[in-house]
Structure 1
């Protein structure tokens, strides 16, 4: 049975307490896991710690923390501490993010994200083992230290976000799960083949990897408002967040559409970009409309072979009340 998770908009909430209340609501509504993103708002670690204190059963995880702004050793320490704080409910989700955030917000060079992600995962796994970390990589050369507090039990799994074929293959080789973001229902199939190839290269069983698919959702009695919000959200990522999401959509068979949405957004023709999404893409990448319609659409994503979990993600423009209404409507 496919898990149903929820992706909490850390930065968009008016207060930290409001965010924690959403995690509590997600637990009461039966969601399997709450994922906490980290961009340029509240940090995910503090938010998860606060949520851990006020929840008992729901899984908690980062989706994602980037591999540039913290060292791999610190990420390992953080994962060990959060596993303790959550009483074993934590999953660490990492990824490279993108040059807009890494260079313009963190002030670091966005260099060789594949290699950096691989080395981060390998170092974090050594840290979490509790053994002395010995690592000689292109970016990191570590020797002589181990966790002073002892290894977490159980060791938290490490998931990675990835878009392109080689990035997804890397996840299959080295991580414990894949976060699939910005995919259509049909487009994810090719990348699942890349995940399996990576698992084979790493002499691993792909069935042991957790595939988590992000779905932009809005379920309101005002169906038009719900559709508009999800379409705006999709258009923003394709048009306004660099070229990675645009190129990822192009690889899924939407090359002309991806470039038209991107170019329209960049040229301040954003209403046109949103209309393009509504006409040709919204139902392939999101679940929106009345509660009944949105539930039926979300179930189509859950039926995709090899997807172990979907997480309900909320559009950027949704109010706190609309987020709660959607969370209730789409609860497991």
Structure 2
């Protein structure tokens, strides 16, 4: 069974909030099942998704992801309840630890025991969403008597977790309603899906009940070489420039030499060399090229057993016209 097709709204190359909201409406009209918004160093996800909820009617909405260091879990619960109300039941909360480059350098917080903090954040957030008083005694969070003053959302929005390493994915299987995957090859995904199932089984849960969403860099253009160039640049940036997590994740998938070459070249300022080094893995990590080629690669990921949704994401260097061309080319039913 093929996974549904979703879409990650771009955070780069967007001149205004209006342009992002317009993309959300276009995604709904094109038949995408859900739109996701990451939160990095631009517009915040919560305000943007609230506006998207006001300008759409049926498409699902979600964060993929907000980190568990810059907001307390009580606030995450309040936020999820509010967005569930604003969207009339269309919201999913995606959370994760992010990495030290973001948490320490940009938020000024110590990146300490990220997996434990993620687990506690999920547990507290879910408790808040229940509408019952929250009494929680954890390593990071101690709450006594917190309770929503508004009606608890019914149904409560699901809480998903992002993760890349075996233990992080196992955690998602044990405690979250879904797992968000990023920068995986098909074989790498299958390995981590085994970790997800193990986590669900440890919690005596049905692994099939844990929704799996893959965020896949996509670029479908009439100029196929331009599309593949954008994909190469995007992948090199993540593996080389976003700390060590993406490098290590690629190494775990059997590509340690390539991961090291990309990372070292990027850190040395040799961006062209880093981009060239990742070229042999473009088809393993993205769906890029002509519209037909990109659709074929998207289908290859969508048919992996255990994947419930593939979210089309855009290369960070794509301009507005290229984003729209890709959105239209990869729309469900095309």
Give your verdict on TM over 0.5.
yes
1:323 matched residue in structure 2: 323
Instruction: Give the TM-score, by structure 1 length.
Output: 0.99
Q: CA deviation at 1:120?
A: 0.1
Q: CA deviation at 1:85?
A: 0.2
**Unmatched runs of 5 consecutive residues or more in structure 1:** none
1:100 matched residue in structure 2: 101
1:109 matched residue in structure 2: 110
1:157 matched residue in structure 2: 158
Pairs within 5 Å for 1:133-212: 133-212=134-213
Whether the aligned pair in 2 keeps the contact of 1:49 and 1:82 (CA below 8 Å) is: yes
Q: CA deviation at 1:270?
A: 1.2
Q: CA deviation at 1:10?
A: 2.9
- Matched position secondary structure for 1:104: coil
1:161-211 deviation digits (Å, cap 9, x = unpaired): 001000000000000000001101111111101000100111100000110
- Matched position secondary structure for 2:156: coil
Distance 1:17 1:234 in 2: 28
- Matched position secondary structure for 1:55: coil
Whether the aligned pair in 1 keeps the contact of 2:103 and 2:110 (CA below 8 Å) is: yes
Distance 2:223 2:186 in 1: 25
**CA spacing shift, 1:11–1:148, aligned 2, 3 Å:** farther
- Matched position secondary structure for 1:230: helix
Runs of 4 or more, structure 1, over 3 Å off, are none
1:260-311 deviation digits (Å, cap 9, x = unpaired): 1100111111111111211x21000001111111111110010111000000
Distance 2:307 2:13 in 1: 28
1:11-37 deviation digits (Å, cap 9, x = unpaired): 541100000000000000000000011
1:242 matched residue in structure 2: 243
1:259 matched residue in structure 2: 260
2:43 matched residue in structure 1: 42
Whether the aligned pair in 2 keeps the contact of 1:88 and 1:156 (CA below 8 Å) is: yes
Q: CA deviation at 1:9?
A: 1.2
Whether the aligned pair in 1 keeps the contact of 2:12 and 2:316 (CA below 8 Å) is: no
- Matched position secondary structure for 1:109: coil
1:119 matched residue in structure 2: 120
Q: CA deviation at 1:130?
A: 0.3
- Matched position secondary structure for 2:84: helix
- Matched position secondary structure for 2:213: strand
1:93-137 deviation digits (Å, cap 9, x = unpaired): 000011111111111111100000000000000000000001000
Pairs within 5 Å for 1:276-287: 276-278=277-279, 280-287=280-287
1:296 matched residue in structure 2: 296
Distance 1:34 1:85 in 2: 15
Distance 2:13 2:226 in 1: 19
Distance 1:17 1:63 in 2: 20
- Matched position secondary structure for 1:57: coil
1:233-264 deviation digits (Å, cap 9, x = unpaired): 00100000010000000000001111111001
2:71 matched residue in structure 1: 70
Distance 1:269 1:10 in 2: 25
Alignment RMSD, CA only? 0.7
Distance 1:172 1:186 in 2: 19
1:89 matched residue in structure 2: 90
Distance 2:13 2:104 in 1: 22
Q: CA deviation at 1:84?
A: 0.1
